[in-house]
Amino acid sequence: MFSLNIKSRSFSSSSNYRHNYHDFHLVDPSIWPVFTALGALLLTNGSVIYFHSSDAFWMKLGLLQVIVGMVGWWRDVINESFQYHTPVVQRGLRLGFILFIVSEVMFFFGFFWGFFHSSLAPSIFIGGIWPPKGIEPFDPWTIPLANTLILLLSGAAITWAHHAIIANEEEDTRVAFMVTLFLAVYFTALQLFEYISAPFGISDSVYGATFLWWLVFMVFMF
């Protein structure tokens, strides 16, 4: 076991990693965490400026910085995966991804909590009715239904990719990932079309705020 561990570490280009014989990954110094964090700070502050003055320069600059940081950071992570990832590191990455999914669940829970709190007991400030007076909601049997079906299909496609990876079927894996990517792009396009064609804005009562904040969420996710 000891000799196997030494062999697996011999591919590392990091002197720090070569001379510390343990199963943990000591990453090399990187500028990407600081760079991306500053971009996220600029993006959030720029979004506030945009909401108040319609000046989108700082928001776009922050978004560009976040995208550049994501590309550079993910590139390094992919390169490291071919050299450093021991079983202990892989377990830690899986745990980290599980925590990420939990954070997304909490994020969605907050959105749905706000929506149901406002819709099940409408405030007198919005007329005591839901949807609020003056709001024309979308027909749920059009784009919302189509996007729901696309999400279900994308879940089936990525599950197909998962099983293809386990079976070591490279061609099926590639096709399944391409199908998933196509459905993701199609879903995003339909969602943006829905936001653009909405007859209400983010400032039109709590209905517009809870509906259009999904657009802000999508921007941060990308």
Give a yes or no: residue 63 inside a domain: yes
Give a yes or no: residue 99 inside a domain: no
Looking at residue 216, what is its pLDDT?
61
- Mean pLDDT per 10-residue section of the chain, whose length is 222 residues: 37 44 74 94 92 87 94 88 77 90 88 86 84 83 90 94 92 94 91 84 80 64 51
Structure pTM?
0.61
Give a yes or no: residue 127 inside a domain: no
Token pair, residue 47, equals 């979004």
Q: How many domains are there within the chain?
A: 1
Q: Report pLDDT digits (tens) over 14-62.
A: 444 444 566 776 777 889 999 999 999 999 999 999 888 878 899 999 9
Beta-carbon contacts of residue 194 (< 8 Å; ≥ 6 apart): 138, 143, 144, 147
Residue ranges making up the domain that contains 58: 1-85
How far is the first Cα of the chain from the last one, in angstroms, to the nearest whole number? Answer: 42
Give a yes or no: residue 54 inside a domain: yes
CB atoms within 10 A of CB 69: 20
Token pair, residue 165, equals 């990876």
Looking at residue 181, what is its pLDDT?
94
Give a yes or no: residue 59 inside a domain: yes
